[in-house]
Amino acid sequence: MMWYNLAKAQSFMPTDGTEIAKQVDNLYGFLLITSFIACVLVIGGMIYFVHKYKRKSDNDKTAYISHNTTLEFLWSFIPLVIFLIVFAWGWYIYQDMRTMPKNAIEISVLGKQWAWEIEYKNGYKAVNEVVVPIGKDVKLLLAAQDVIHSFYVPSFRIKQDAVPGRYTALWFNANKLGEFHIFCTEYCGTSHSGMIGLLKVVTQEEFNSFMEKGQEEGQLPLVKRGEKLFALKACASCHSVDSPAVKVGPSLYKKFGSDEILEDGSKVAVDENYIRESILQPNAKIVKGYPRGIMPTFQGQINENELGALVEYVKSLSGK
Amino acid sequence: MGHSSAHGENYLNHEKGLWSWLTTVDHKRIGLMYMITVLFFFFVGGVMALLLRAELFAPNAVAGVGQVLKSGDIYNQVLTYHGAIMVFMVIIPGIPAILGNFFLPIHIGAKDVAFPKVNLASWYCFMFGASLAIGTFFASKIDTGWTFYTPYSIRTGTSTVMMVLGAFVMGMSSVLTGLNFIVTVHKLRAPGMTMHRMPLFVWALYSTAILQMLATPVLAITLLLLAAEKIFGVGIFDPKLGGDPVLFQHFFWFYSHPAVYIMILPAMGVVSELITTFSRKVIFGYTAIAYSSLGIAAVSFFVWGHHMFVSGQSSFAGILFSFITMLVGVPTAIKMFNWVATLYKGSIRFDAPMLYALGFMFLFAIGGVTGIMLAVLPIDVHFHDTYFVVAHFHYVMVGGTLMALMGGLYYWFPKMFGRMCSDAWARMSFVFIFIGFNVTFFPQFILGAMGMPRRYFDYIPAYETLNKVSTVGSWLIMAGFLISLYTLVRGLRSGEKAPMNPWGSKTLEWQTSSPPPHFNFDVEPIVTAGPYEYR
């Protein structure tokens, strides 16, 4: 299959992480080659003719060819046959893609502005991170909380919209260990491009211990718990933590201990109380240059312990 | 002077003053009014495009060049205005309203369209709708994307209602123009101008007019339902109120897919005219091209679901829509082959309009084959809503429609204004636009295959290099259009006087003076042969 490997090298498709992805790439390789030939024929024919029949004098006589039934039949029939072949080939793969396997591991995925909430059968929850075992059928049950999102794993060549008010689903069977990107591909507002997750394919043993570890959350140190919570509440969708880059809200990188300038021009020291107030009453003080009313309040949604953990985590971002 | 009649000898100086333009019922003047407004909107939409590309030059985390626009919200607004302005105010009205208004009546030997006052009303509809749409910019800027997908468009706090009402009113303008064209073609053809002697540009406009009449009302209903839901809280699309968001997508694409052909069919018509004129040869397969326009128009109503393969519609529907989409590919391919065959044994000149027509064929071939790829189910699952789709429709809409519009403008400029443009400058504009276009959009195919989703304010570092190339390409396109602007303005001010038929074409508009008199022809023409009788 030399031709196919060649086509694949040209196509820049991401690594294929499933058997179906490989099949999709085969079909894509075939399409690339036939498209390339078609373009060479049409564009090449065009360039050859305009070069060969360049106007020589203003009195050139041209041939009067109004039509040619055989030729016209052929160039209608041949494309039709090719189109039907790729349609049928596509149908065949699509059927596999859309037929949900029985006895698959089921994981619920909830899309919301702007994070993926993952829930496993045993009640363990995570955000923006799906962990699955290699070589097992996995079915993702998709739902959306606010607007339409779309769950896309480029390396698996799968994509499905998560629609509010109903469930949709997709499945895969990963055959490569590693981490793969999850993107949201249905436009969902301010931080659509920040709704990035990771799909981790691990061995069965790692998966088992991951599921057990999920039960032991409570024993983590405060900073670690804060970090977990920061991810779980999707704070990272709007606040960067490892660089001063601005997402939706101000970056928290090295913010603790510095001074912040507010919209009325006054200064405020970033200390524990300021962070606490910003989480519980985000509109009490607005940093200069940012819009009011974007960040939702977390009053009543996190308890005192969790608040402490978050403050501790933000402190740790300053290296203090 | 002292003459009892103050009327000049051509349509431009027939009457004078701004008021005579604002109240004109002359199809040629209405065409020019569309030209001025559409080119203005094109400028605005183009500036938005440059902003988007500037933002995507580097990931946001890169210091200095990374983040150009202040926030994701602003980026989303810019992409919405870019899309909405380019679709509703540039590409859809572009060729039919400018070149169609001006040349359809002349092409069939008529004095004007069938309903001249309705024609003027359609321009005012367009202006009113466009003002509403642009007005949202000064109310609260919308951020829904040009597709207004629910429930996002219902939830977002921005003035979606005003925008969709704008699109609704512009749709009215589109319906009125379509109606006018259909009646004009059936009722006002000159003696001897049978349907099969009409130029292919007229056939393309005729097919487009049918689409405009039948599809636009569906968009109007959809947008009104959306407005009703947003204002009165009636549950139609929002699941919180018991509605279904996917229903909106069905309604929307039931219009917007045929709309794709509203955008491209007239361009195909222009290309047929350019290719025959500049190769001085009869078109190959006149009947096939004429009827494939109608065929495309008919089938295009039954392929809307190919925009929704991953939306949650049933697999069966997906398979059906994929199949029908393959069928619509065939007449499109036929047209390409016909144009190439027309070049065979011709006598080909490379004036700027012809370069644009050849550029159209080059880009449309790529837009076409990638369209077939997207119609294949599992390939679309991977490419849907990625940059591959963005690249594909820019190849078709910009590489296709806009190239044809530019070629058409240069081709008919001498007839419209009675002056010649500098061909050297016009060809230079082509070189910049053509190369810039490929530099901008070809990398986006690869970005899409790599998995970069569209409508992205920021992206992972792996996509950086190709995005940089793409942004540099957008500057080349900008240079090309600035050169075009200079060429056209220079032609208007100081171009040499155009003869009646500078390109040696056979269609009727070249058999009257440049610019044409108020009623197009001094003597009603009698037609005795087809439009491309180069013997």
Domain ranges of chain B: 18-511
- CA A100 from chain center: how many Å? 21
Residue A300 pLDDT? 73
Q: How confident is the model at residue B177 (pLDDT cuts 50, 70, 90)?
A: very high
> How confident is the model over A288-311, as pLDDT tens digits?
888 887 888 887 777 777 787 888
Q: Is A292 on the interface with B (CB under 8 A)?
A: no
Shortest Cα distance, chain A CAs vs residue B5, angstroms: 42
Judged by CB atoms closer than 8 Å, whether chains meet at A35 and B370 is answered as yes
Mean pLDDT of chain B: 92
Q: Is B348 on the interface with A (CB under 8 A)?
A: yes
Q: Is A65 on the interface with B (CB under 8 A)?
A: yes
Does residue A36 have a pLDDT over 90?
yes
DSSP notation for B48-90: HHHHHHHHTTS-TTSTTTS--SS-HHHHHHHHHHHHHIIIIII
- Distance (Å, rounded) from C-alpha B52 to C-alpha B59? 13
> How confident is the model over B438-495, as pLDDT tens digits?
999 999 999 999 999 999 999 998 899 999 999 999 999 999 999 999 999 999 999 9
List chain B residues with CB under 8 Å of A146.
Answer: 151, 155
Question: Chain B interface, mutation test: which of A51, A180, A190, most B Cβ atoms within 10 Å?
Answer: A190
Q: Number of CB pairs < 8 Å for A and B?
A: 273
When pLDDT is averaged across residues B513-521 and rounded to a whole number, the result is 91
Q: Is A158 on the interface with B (CB under 8 A)?
A: yes
Judged by CB atoms closer than 8 Å, whether chains meet at A60 and B311 is answered as no
Q: In this structure, what is the dihedral angle of CA atoms B39, B41, B46, B51, given to the nearest 10 degrees?
A: 160
Chain A 68-87, residues with CB within 8 Å of chain B CB atoms: 68, 71-72, 75-76, 79-80, 83-84, 86-87
Contacts 24+ apart (CB under 8 A), A250-253: A250/A287, A250/A290, A252/A314, A252/A317, A253/A317
List chain A residues with CB under 8 Å of B310.
Answer: 150, 159-161
Residue A214 pLDDT? 67
Does residue A133 have a pLDDT over 90?
yes
Which helix H or strand E contains A127, and what residues bound it?
strand A125-127
By the 8 A CB rule, do B171 and B220 touch? yes
- Distance (Å, rounded) from C-alpha B57 to C-alpha B52? 9
Q: Is B336 on the interface with A (CB under 8 A)?
A: yes
Residue A10 pLDDT? 41
Better pLDDT: B123 or B232? B123
Q: How confident is the model at residue B6 (pLDDT cuts 50, 70, 90)?
A: low
Q: Percent of chain A having pLDDT more than 70? A: 93
Which helix H or strand E contains B416, and what residues bound it?
helix B403-417
Q: At A178, phi and psi to the nearest 5?
A: 140, -175
- CA B515 from chain center: how many Å? 25
Q: How confident is the model at residue A5 (pLDDT cuts 50, 70, 90)?
A: very low
- To the question of pTM greater than 0.90 for the whole model, the response is no
Q: Which of A31, A194, A291 sits opposite B376 (nearest CB)?
A: A31
Chain B CA closest to residue A87: B376
Residue B78 pLDDT? 94
Q: Is A128 on the interface with B (CB under 8 A)?
A: no
Q: Is B362 on the interface with A (CB under 8 A)?
A: yes
Judged by CB atoms closer than 8 Å, whether chains meet at B72 and A14 is answered as no
Does residue B257 have a pLDDT over 70?
yes
Chain A CA closest to residue B332: A76
Does residue A209 have a pLDDT over 90?
no
Does residue B373 have a pLDDT over 80?
yes
What angle is formed at CA B512 by the lines to CA B6 and CA B200, rounded to 5 degrees? 130
Q: Which residues contact B478 (CB under 8 A, 6 or more apart)?
A: B46, B50, B436
Q: How confident is the model at residue A320 (pLDDT cuts 50, 70, 90)?
A: low
When pLDDT is averaged across residues A183-201 and rounded to a whole number, the result is 93
Chain B CA closest to residue A187: B455
Cis peptide before A114 (omega within 30 of 0): yes
Judged by CB atoms closer than 8 Å, whether chains meet at B145 and A187 is answered as yes
Does residue A176 have a pLDDT over 60?
yes
Judged by CB atoms closer than 8 Å, whether chains meet at B455 and A194 is answered as no
List chain B residues with CB under 8 Å of A80.
Answer: 326-327, 330
Q: What is the largest CA-CA distance in chain A?
A: 93
Residue bearing tokens 């050859």: A48
Token pair listed for A143: 């739902």
Mean pLDDT of chain A: 86
Which helix H or strand E contains B423, and what residues bound it?
helix B423-450
Q: How confident is the model at residue B101 (pLDDT cuts 50, 70, 90)?
A: very high
When pLDDT is averaged across residues B130-158 and rounded to a whole number, the result is 87
Does residue B291 have a pLDDT over 50?
yes
Shortest Cα distance, chain B CAs vs residue A214, angstroms: 29
Query: B249: closest CA among B240, B260, B236, B261?
Result: B236
> How confident is the model over B34-64, as pLDDT tens digits?
999 999 999 999 999 999 999 999 998 887 7
Q: Is B388 on the interface with A (CB under 8 A)?
A: no
Query: A172: closest CA among B378, B313, B308?
Result: B378
Burial A80-114 (b: 16+ CB within 10 A, else e): eebbeebbebbbebbeebbeeeeebeebbbbbbbb
Residue bearing tokens 């290099």: B465
Q: How many CA atoms lie within 13 A of B113 on its CB side?
A: 33
List chain A residues with CB under 8 Å of B444.
Answer: none
Q: Is B250 on the interface with A (CB under 8 A)?
A: no
Judged by CB atoms closer than 8 Å, whether chains meet at A191 and B72 is answered as yes
Residue B313 pLDDT? 87
In this structure, of A32-46, A71-85, A135-149, B233-247, the range with the lowest mean pLDDT score is: B233-247
Q: Is A24 on the interface with B (CB under 8 A)?
A: yes
Q: Percent of chain B having pLDDT more than 90? A: 75
Q: Is A12 on the interface with B (CB under 8 A)?
A: yes
Residue B4 pLDDT? 41
Shortest Cα distance, chain B CAs vs residue A10, angstroms: 9
Bridge-based pairing of strands A129-133 and A197-202 is parallel
Judged by CB atoms closer than 8 Å, whether chains meet at A79 and B246 is answered as no
By the 8 A CB rule, do A268 and A257 touch? no
Q: Percent of chain B having pLDDT more than 70? A: 99
Judged by CB atoms closer than 8 Å, whether chains meet at A150 and B385 is answered as yes
Judged by CB atoms closer than 8 Å, whether chains meet at A248 and B71 is answered as yes
Residue A310 pLDDT? 87
| Class of domain B18-511 (CATH, top level) | mainly alpha
Which residue blocks in B1-155 are alpha helix, DSSP H?
Answer: 18-22, 27-55, 72-84, 92-93, 101-107, 116-135, 152-155
Residue A4 pLDDT? 45
List chain A residues with CB under 8 Å of B280.
Answer: 55, 60, 62
Q: What is the ipTM of this complex?
A: 0.90
Shortest Cα distance, chain B CAs vs residue A17, angstroms: 13
